[in-house]
Chain A
Amino acid sequence: MEHRPRILVVDDEPQLTRVLRTGLSSHGYEVRIAADGIAALETFGDWHPDLVVTDLAMPEMDGLELCRRLREISSVPILVLSARGEEKTKVAALDLGADDYVTKPFGIEELLARVRVGLRRARTDAATERLETVVEAGALRADLESRTVTVREREVRLTPKEFDLLIHFMRHAGKVLTHRSLLAAVWGGDYVEQNEYLRVFVGQLRKKIETDPAAPRFIVTEPWVGYRFNAEEG
């Protein structure tokens, strides 16, 4: 039998977990529930899920701590459920390694779509690690050895920093990247407050790779949080 993707749902709200279990199972996912971070870590160790969906506010161990602990042991995609008004916590979760978020109240289709993106990203990551000389994401192709980039087979000239930034985006396609995490990854830890660097470089990258830089489809802004790279161009 084909392997059904495993999803671990972590939330202390039993009514919501009832719904998520049913909604996700009906789409072919295998689902397990944990009521808090501690239970989630236990299940994670025994069961090795392919993706984790977690609430932020929970007793015992909250979603933030769970993200941190999971990142110490795994690169499993983490999808955070957050409420409007929890922006700070949401960004903190993303900084700690969460991949994406869904704002409550949400429709099941949105959650399913995010789950699919997360699972696909995990597969792409695994594939990228195997052949490290070329990174591809949709119509973009970057050669790491010659440091050249082509968009729809047309070569574009990038500065070294632009190239590094784009590679970082492409390697994390579909994932929400916070300003801090981008700055830390491309410029280094001393630059995490320099949002203006990021704005300038993202603007330049968009001019070079987007068909319409004013309505970007590859590098999409996530308001107040950061950016998300879409391999499929929107």
Chain B
Amino acid sequence: MAKAVVWKQVLGYIVAVIVIAAATAVLQVFGGHINPTTVALAFLLIVLFVAAAWGSKPAVLAALAGGISFNIFFLPPVGTLHISEPEDWIAFLSFLVTGITAGQLSARARRRAEEANSARRETENLYRELQDTFEQASQAKAIKQSERLKSALLDAVTHDLRTPLTSIKASVTTLLDDRRARLSAEETTHLDEAERTEMLEVIDEESDRLDRFISGMMELARIDAGEMQLRRDWGSIEEIVTEALARAQPLTKNHAVEVKIESDLPSVRVDGRAVSEVVYSLVDNAAKYSPSGTRICISAQRSGDEVIQMSVEDQGKGIGVELRDRVFDKFFRATRDGDVSTGRVSGNGMGLAIAKGIVEAHDGTIGIESGTGGNGTRVIFTLPIGDDDAVPVLKTA
């Protein structure tokens, strides 16, 4: 570094002398015709140039060299260092003082510019560092948020696995306890046949519940990974709804189910099994979150030329506007995480997330609004009618 600076200065001195010499030679060509003021101004220009490029010391050398050249070649008597006329003395001294001062000023300006430059660079560096720090901080925040989300998901999954497991464990140990009491002929009340059967039924049903939960998780993982395979085929909405309602019958036996399907609906090219799953899921939710004896209405009609709009409506408590997007999140349960409660069992928080995945895989949309007269919940989803050219296997994101 230091070496480079020294070399630069030496170069400045050499250039100062050479340029003054060259200028002297050029000005000499004009011989005695040239005005000493012009020469002085030309040399002054060189001094300024050297000052701007190499700083004050080379500029002083340029001023001194220029002064000597001015004296020898352009002030009478020419060819000597001697100055005869007092006004020429004034011209010579004026040139020297002006040259040195201008050189100094110009060099100072250069230094200032350099300082300003380095200050700017420093500011830029600081800004970049700040930006990096901010980026790192926001990354850390994002990581923290995703960690929090993960732990919330884990909590939800743990809860959903443990609840059936608790019933299973309690049933099994009740049966074991009973068996032990019988074998040791203890005087406690034994379970009767109906009670033993009930315990076994609980184990059976809760094992199914665990299995459903695991299947749901797999389905969600497939949707998340964009690997949902749609088997599209032409079919009628009515068939899809009928199939879903038949399956949901055990869940809806305490509700009045009403079906309103527009009479001349065209066939749709969808994955019938998947759409039926959507309807089943929505009806299941409607039954779970609305009181016994109330009405559940399933409707389907055309919405424009290319789209069918379907809805499932219940007469439950409804879902607050602020929760209407969140209920489609994985594992979100309004009964537990929101403020909606019915005093009934809640689902596993996957039904609506899967329904959304299926509807979106069909290029449809799904959303929630209040039911008729502002009461209850209406889930609305759309399905494009589809055509034969549609890609048979659709991938979702």
Interface residues of A (CB under 8 A from B): 12-16, 18-20, 22-23, 25-28, 35-36, 39, 57, 59-60, 83, 85, 104-109, 111-112
Contact = CB atoms under 8 A, between A and B. Distances in A.
Contact of A12 (B173, B191, B345): B345
B165 interface: yes
A60 B343 contact: yes
A67 B292 CA distance: 30
Given A19-B199, A20-B170, A109-B173, A26 B189 contact: yes
Contacts of A28: 188-189
26 contacts: A13-B345, A14-B345, A15-B205, A15-B206, A16-B166, A16-B167, A18-B167, A19-B170, A19-B171, A22-B191, A23-B170, A23-B177, A26-B178, A26-B191, A26-B195, A27-B189, A35-B343, A59-B335, A59-B341, A83-B159, A105-B168, A106-B169, A107-B173, A108-B174, A108-B177, A109-B177
A106 B178 CA distance: 16
Question: Chain B interface: which size bin?
Answer: 35 or more
Interface in B140-196: 155, 158-159, 162-171, 173-174, 177-178, 188-191, 195
Interface string B312-344: 000000000000000000000001100001111
Contacts of B174: 19, 22-23, 26, 108
Contacts of B206: 15
Interface string B182-224: 0000001111000100110010011000000000000000000
Interface in B39-54: none
B339 to A, nearest CB: 10
Interface centre among A12, A36, A105, A112 (most CB of B within 10 A): A105
Contacts of B195: 22, 26
A105 B343 contact: no
A125 to B, nearest CB: 26
B165 A105 contact: yes
Nearest to A22: B195
Contacts of A104: 162, 166
B335 to A, nearest CB: 6
Contact of B170 (A36, A85, A106): A106
Contacts of A25: 189
Contacts of B173: 23, 107-109
A105 B335 CA distance: 22
A28 B345 CA distance: 28
B164 A107 contact: no
Nearest to B159: A83
Given A13-B167, A59-B335, A107-B169, A83 B162 contact: yes
Interface string B84-126: 0000000000000000000000000000000000000000000
A16 B170 contact: yes
A26 B190 contact: yes
B190 A60 contact: no
Interface centre among A15, A35, A83, A85 (most CB of B within 10 A): A15
A25 B336 CA distance: 30
B167 A15 contact: yes
A85 B167 contact: no
A31 to B, nearest CB: 12
A104 to B, nearest CB: 4
A24 to B, nearest CB: 9
B204 to A, nearest CB: 11
Contacts of B168: 105
B248 to A, nearest CB: 19
Interface centre among B159, B170, B171, B341 (most CB of A within 10 A): B170
B338 to A, nearest CB: 11
A168 B204 CA distance: 46
Contacts of A111: 170
Given A19-B199, A23-B177, A108 B170 contact: yes
A32 B175 CA distance: 20
A85 B202 contact: no
Given A60-B343, A107-B169, A18 B202 contact: yes
B202 A15 contact: yes
Which 8 pairs from chain A and chain B are nearest by CB? Answer: A59-B341, A107-B173, A105-B169, A23-B174, A105-B166, A15-B167, A108-B173, A19-B170
A36 B343 contact: yes
A107 B345 CA distance: 23
A20 B171 CA distance: 8
Given A14-B345, A36-B343, 7 more contacts: A12-B343, A13-B166, A18-B198, A18-B202, A22-B191, A26-B191, A27-B188
A25 B206 CA distance: 21
Contacts of B199: 19, 22
B372 to A, nearest CB: 25
Contacts of B190: 26
B165 A59 contact: no
